[in-house]
Copies of this chain bind each other. A is one copy, B any other.
Amino acid sequence: MSGEDAPAQQQNAVDQKQETKPAEEPKAEPPKTEPAPEGAAEAAATPAAATEKVPEEETFTYRALVLTGYGGYDKVKLQVKKGKPALKAGEVLVRVKACGLNFADLMARQGLYDRLPSPPVTPGMECSGVVEAVGEEVTDRKVGDKVMVLNRFGLWQEVAVVPANHTFLIPEGMSFEEAAALPVNYITAYMMLFDFGNLRPNQSVLVHSAAGGVGIAATQMCKTVKDVIVFGTASASKHETITQGGVTHAIDYRTKDYVEEVRKISPKGLDIILDPLGGSDTHKAYNLLKPMGKLITYGAANMLAGQKKNLLAVAKNWYHQFSIHTLSLIQGNKSVCGFHLGYLDGETELITQAMDTILDLYKQGKIKPRIDSTWHLEQVGDAMRKMQERNNIGKVILTTEPMPEEEKKEETKKEDKKEDKKKEDKKKDDKKKDDGKKEEKKDDKKKEEAKKEEKKEEEKKEEAKKEEK
């Protein structure tokens, strides 16, 4: 395993001039869980560290998740990188504590997200951690600062180099997990509701996947405005949680037609609809808008069916892709907006403004990220599965804490069981995808393909195990 897969933004440290020795730097608040400086802990595990004093740039190693190709959960592999990443002016090096999972990461794994460079590449749009080194011209961050980070990609690793203005100070009392859960979901919810949506008192909002990361953030944001009615879709088992979280009317989209349910309560329709689904759901949303209503579409989750790229789902989504004529907008007095934080990476000012407001709301106790579960880097596949299969309530988090040895062994034992479970899941998955009568034949084909896929996966898993050792 070498560092050859390192993303473009993180040059190998060989040609790096600058040195950052912790002894020279003020360490106001040394984070308790920080590993030994200079990456010694990891370095110890590699043969290089066994030799006598070698320049830090060479002994420095860190673990990184790397997307090795497009496909299933196993395409994201844990690798060890060598060499301390170089810091350019304006950049900081962050020792990562926790990372957030986002839908874009799942899309990216299937090759459906064009903001991630081609594999091999490290995914990850958000993380939290501690500043371990600062580049020239960085004035507002110092070593030891606890920060959350927002970046186009490259944050699912133990060490990340990012522009200082992509970091935000973690407020007092916020955990690293919360901090890793906050940036993408809350900026997304904030900008959709308060910039495009222009949310005001007494309005009504539809939040799809109300138990997901953006869904929970959006619900909390809605509740910061007086008398806003939140319609939230989620499977029935999550209704209690989302209702406690602020959803006024929880709708089980699996057993009920959410359009009908909304119309029963709000016959005239809705003021704002957040649409992460795409395809035919965007059409439904458009028709469900009141005059002066705003439809804000921010994804195409309908394209994600199964763990690998599902051409049928993608094609269906494209076929149903919403296209709107201005005349219809004029006659309906409607607004259609598109949002994706991943395409806003040049807009530092906008994002910083949003983040300032969000952190104020956090300090006032009005918002609080909800963590669904935390996984070790080794478990990224399971973490992604949990999110993709919509089994989460809140944010799915990766931690860079090393996995205890006994857990690792447990994990290996579980592998076989998991394989069995996977087969079951796959069957369920296929069933879910069955849109009705027409597609039965296609489904048979899919099952066959799925079986083939599983065989391939088993082979790959074997490979992966070898690699990790």
Contact = CB atoms under 8 A, between A and B. Distances in A.
Interface of A: 191, 195-196, 198, 278, 282, 291-292, 294, 297-300, 321-340, 343-344, 346-347, 350
Given A324-B336, A326-B336, 10 more contacts: A196-B292, A291-B347, A299-B330, A327-B338, A329-B336, A329-B337, A330-B338, A331-B343, A334-B338, A335-B337
The 9 closest A-B pairs by CB, nearest first: A329-B338, A330-B338, A335-B337, A198-B198, A322-B326, A297-B326, A330-B340, A323-B325, A331-B343
Contacts of A321: 325-327
Main secondary structure of the interface of A (DSSP, over half): mixed
A328 B338 contact: yes
A92 to B, nearest CB: 25
Contacts of A323: 323-326
Nearest to A353: B200
Which of A297, A334, A337: most chain B CB closer than 10 A? A337
A196 B344 contact: no
Given A292-B191, A292-B350, A338 B332 contact: yes
A284 to B, nearest CB: 13
Nearest to A195: B292
A198 B336 CA distance: 14
Nearest to A331: B343
Nearest to A337: B335
B196 A298 contact: no
A202 to B, nearest CB: 10
A291 B195 contact: no
B335 A336 contact: yes
A380 to B, nearest CB: 26
A329 B332 CA distance: 19
A94 to B, nearest CB: 25
Contacts of A336: 324, 326, 329, 335-337
Contact of A331 (B195, B330, B334, B338): B338
